[in-house]
Amino acid sequence: MLIPFRRALLTAIRKHNCRLFSDSTVTSSTRKGLVLGVYEQQSDSDGVSLTEAAAAFDRSLSGRLSEMLSLSGPPLKKGKSRIFYGLHQDFPSVVVVGLGKSDPGVCGKENWDNCKENIRAAVSAGCRQLQDLEVALVEVDPCGDDQSAAEGAVLGLFEYDELKTKKKVHVKTRPHGSVDAAAWQKGVLYGDGQNLARQLMEAPANHVTPTVFANTIEQKLSLFADRVIVHKRPQSWIEGEQMGAFLSVSKGSEEPPVFLELHYKGSSDSAQPPLVLVGKGITFDSGGISLKPSSGMDAMRADMGGAATVCSAIVTAAALKIPINIIGLAPLCENMPSGKANKPGDVVRAKNGKTIQIDNTDAEGRLILADALCYAHSFKPRAIINAATLTGAMDVALGSAATGVFTNSDWLWERLHKASVVTGDRVWRMPLFQHYTKQVTDSALADLNNVGKYSRSGGACTAAAFLKEFVSANHWAHLDIAGVMTNKDEVPYLRKGMSGRPTRTLVEFIAGLASDV
């Protein structure tokens, strides 16, 4: 004898001549799908609370969708999904995703907008479910926030499988129902920007050398040649600029270094001081003579994450035509052990004349950034922001919850923090005390030491203090992104692998800065 719930469910299915499955038995011939949103019920007595697009779809079916949702199981919670087949002739597969509460807004404790994050996560889950069913075209419910929905779709579907014979089905997405086309497209570009950074970071180091990295960014920016100039500075130029710290790192590798310099002219006011973005570009980090453990060393193909996020943010800013002038700087090289490599105890001279004792060749990112930061000041910038997968200590401190920000400017911090609340890709302010500066200026042989006197204590802070010795600008921020370099399962709308964070936060910051001009 069937229990009442089961009997009612089967009756509804027969009545509407549709099929309901909870597994993935659909064939690959099913090519079109739909993702719709449903809000969490406030109480057991409430009915199904659909989004505007889902409600319109439900009306077109004379209420079948809401009826099936009620019959097919308990109310959908945030992040959960349910798939229906055969409900609509145009959409053989329909995934309904749980959005949580209808309007939770910004959460002060979490420092992000819960609604936006819920939408990104839910849309991502729905799109992936359809991709797993080899559905090639997916229409997406904007869920009340077109940009966040587009970001969730684009970010959620990305997977680096370029070198695999068997690849996932390429899914095209488009909005369903009433849509703000400009907001949707903005979300697509934000997602594409982060995916570009993920692609660069994920690719093997023998496929993305300094030269290949520079060529890839040049190719991406060729679409905007009317407002972007790309300089790929060779070793001879680097030597002429007396970037001794950068050259000391690169000399251990057979791959030649490249100093990538990008000029985005988004403002018609040529006198507008530029924002300068600097990214650490170590395309593979073995640690040099201070060799890293072999376990996990393969992930050091992504030690150019700072350069990847900075350059991808500029590509996105150009695609969005953000009216601001930006200069991007990316010192690119490998850190390898060889007869020419830096040795512990060596002393090198940076572009500004300061000498640096290298007691750990695995603290190389700060060396190449030192010269790049010196060069950044020549553009008389409005502000300087550098991003780098700089220290394992930052991962220990914050994990993958947020990017650590060290800054000498409250003005800059407030704008970065505001941008991160919008994107959900959070930042957290860290200290720049003199306490840490003393630890890097106490050196036996030179002006500075590339590691703090107490190497295991406050490593992220002493690294930032080191960089500060090469900064005179009033508005400077150092983003240590080592903790957010990879994603396991922390960010639900990103698959496992390199994260490309915080590209969207940088783009949102740039857009906000442009609106202040």
In this structure, the chain runs to a length of: 517
Q: Which residues pair with 231 in a beta bridge?
A: 261
d(CA 321, CA 310): 16
**Distance (Å) of CA 59 to CA 2, 53, 54, 65:** 30, 10, 9, 9
292 is catalytic: yes
Helix (H) or strand (E) holding 121: helix 114-132
Please tell me which residue in 366, 382, 415, 468 is annotated as part of the active site: 366
d(CA 513, CA 156): 28
Please tell me which residue in 78, 292, 349, 453 is annotated as part of the active site: 292
Residue of 476, 484, 481 whose CA lies nearest to 460: 481
d(CA 265, CA 159): 32
**Distance (Å) of CA 87 to CA 8, 62, 177, 319, 507:** 17, 11, 17, 38, 40
d(CA 56, CA 50): 9
For helices 503-516 and 305-320, what crossing angle results, to 10°? Answer: 50
Coil, strand or helix: which one is 9? helix
**N-term to C-term CA, the chain:** 72
Would you say 351 and 242 are in contact if contact means Cβ atoms under 8 Å apart?
yes
Question: Which residue type, as a one-letter code, is found at position 21?
Answer: F
366 is catalytic: yes
SS (H, E, C) 42-102: CCCCCCCEECHHHHHHHHHCCCHHHHHHHHCCCCCCCCCEEEEEEEECCEEEEEEEECCCC
Active site residues: 292, 366
